[in-house]
């Protein structure tokens, strides 16, 4: 909200509005970098001075040294690929299933009421409860991870899609019907745009949950992937490698978040919530 606009609305906050965006953005950037440096330096000091046992917390420099070493090794990239692949396939399946089921249930009042109690009951069931089952049936094969990922992500997607379908403005839908739009055209021009922000939210929540479950499956069950390597590193006492893997997995999480935000922005550039965020 620039002060040079014709009217100052009462809700504008002149104190902050007087700071232009460019200096503030770069100031925030510098502060952010400083924050990261503080944490890294702090961890390094704690370790090197022995305040925290270096067997448990090796110096940050050692962690990163180990990380760079890992980057040159074949097993690392193989494991990375397997993790990402498991995540992506599980997420895609959960999205597809969730969107289809969500649209079908959401478009019928009867189905919505009929399935409501079941959904509310099944949804909070922790996916980790399935771990023993899945171990029995699939062992350490990727299908174990697939089941866990899909189960957990599906509910996130389904709930959001149901919200989205329910949120369709009745006025918009009535208008469409009064112009004799067929059901498919209504779905495309009224339901879909309303539901799209919810589908993006579903994608965001589902992606995060899918990653958590994929790593869990690898760590706990032993499905091949970075999670499994992490478990192995820790139990064999390779402490810097353990941290290095944790850092890598963290960055994967960050990458997933950024990717999701990017896609959201592209798909929803027209939506007021995204537009106001950017203003």
Residue 231 touching other proteins (CB under 8 A): yes
Q: How many CB atoms lie within 10 A of CB 35?
A: 10
Give the interface segment with other proteins, choosing from 20-28, 89-97, 172-180, 185-193 (CB under 8 A): 20-28
Residue among 96 and 133 whose Cβ is closer to other proteins: 133
Stretch 83-122 residues interacting with other proteins (CB under 8 A): 113-118, 121
- The position carrying tokens 């980057």 is 71
Instruction: For the segment 193-212, give every residue that binds other proteins (CB under 8 A).
Output: 211-212
Rule CB under 8 A: say whether 219 interacts with other proteins. yes
Decide: 260 and 204 in contact? Cβ < 8 Å. Answer: yes
Dist CA 199 CA 96 (whole Å): 11
Which CB sits closer to other proteins, 170 or 184?
170
Of the candidate spans 43-51, 95-103, 194-202, 216-224, the one that interacts with other proteins by CB under 8 A turns out to be 216-224
Give φ, ψ of 92 to 5 degrees: -60, -45
Q: Which is nearer to other proteins, 3 or 74 (CB)?
A: 3
State the distance between the two ends of the chain, measured CA to CA, in whole angstroms: 8
Of the pair 138, 181, the CB lying nearest other proteins is at 138
72, 74, 136, 272: which one binds other proteins (CB under 8 A): 136
Tokens, residue 249: 């997995």
Residues 6+ apart with CB under 8 A from 118: none
Residues in contact with other proteins, counted by CB under 8 A, come to a total of 75
Is 56 a binding residue for other proteins by CB under 8 A? The answer is yes
Closest CA to 172 of 160, 188, 161, 156: 188
Of residues 255 through 274, those in contact with other proteins by CB under 8 A are 256-257
**How far is the CA of 270 from the CAs of 79, 172, 197, 265, in angstroms?**
39, 17, 10, 9
* Member of 50, 72, 74, 124 binding other proteins (CB under 8 A): 124
CB of 103 to other proteins, least distance (A): 18
């Amino acid at each position: 909200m620039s002060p040079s606009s014709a009217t100052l609305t009462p809700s504008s906050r002149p104190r902050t509005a007087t700071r232009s965006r460019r200096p503030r953005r770069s100031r925030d950037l510098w502060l952010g970098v400083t924050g990261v440096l503080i944490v890294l330096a702090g961890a390094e000091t704690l370790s090197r001075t022995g305040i925290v046992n270096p067997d448990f917390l090796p110096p940050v420099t050692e962690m990163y040294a180990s990380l760079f070493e890992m980057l040159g090794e074949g097993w690392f990239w193989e494991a990375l690929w397997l993790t990402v692949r498991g995540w992506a396939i599980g997420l895609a399946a959960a999205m597809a299933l969730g969107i289809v089921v969500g649209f079908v249930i959401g478009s019928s009042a009867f189905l919505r009421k009929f399935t409501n109690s079941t959904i509310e009951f099944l949804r909070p069931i922790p996916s980790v409860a399935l771990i023993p089952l899945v171990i029995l049936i699939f062992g350490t094969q990727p299908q174990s991870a697939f089941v866990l990922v899909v189960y957990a992500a599906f509910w996130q997607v389904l709930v959001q899609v149901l919200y989205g379908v329910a949120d369709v403005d009745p006025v918009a839908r009535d208008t469409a019907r009064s112009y004799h739009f067929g059901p498919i055209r209504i779905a495309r021009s009224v339901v879909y745009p309303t539901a799209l922000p919810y589908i993006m939210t579903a994608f965001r929540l589902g992606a995060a949950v899918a990653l958590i479950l994929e790593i869990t499956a690898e760590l706990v069950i032993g499905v091949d992937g970075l999670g499994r390597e992490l478990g192995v590193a820790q139990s064999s006492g390779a402490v810097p490698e353990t941290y290095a893997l944790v850092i890598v997995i963290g960055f994967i999480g960050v990458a997933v978040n950024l990717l999701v935000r990017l896609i959201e922005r592209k798909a929803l550039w027209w939506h007021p919530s995204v537009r106001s965020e950017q203003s």
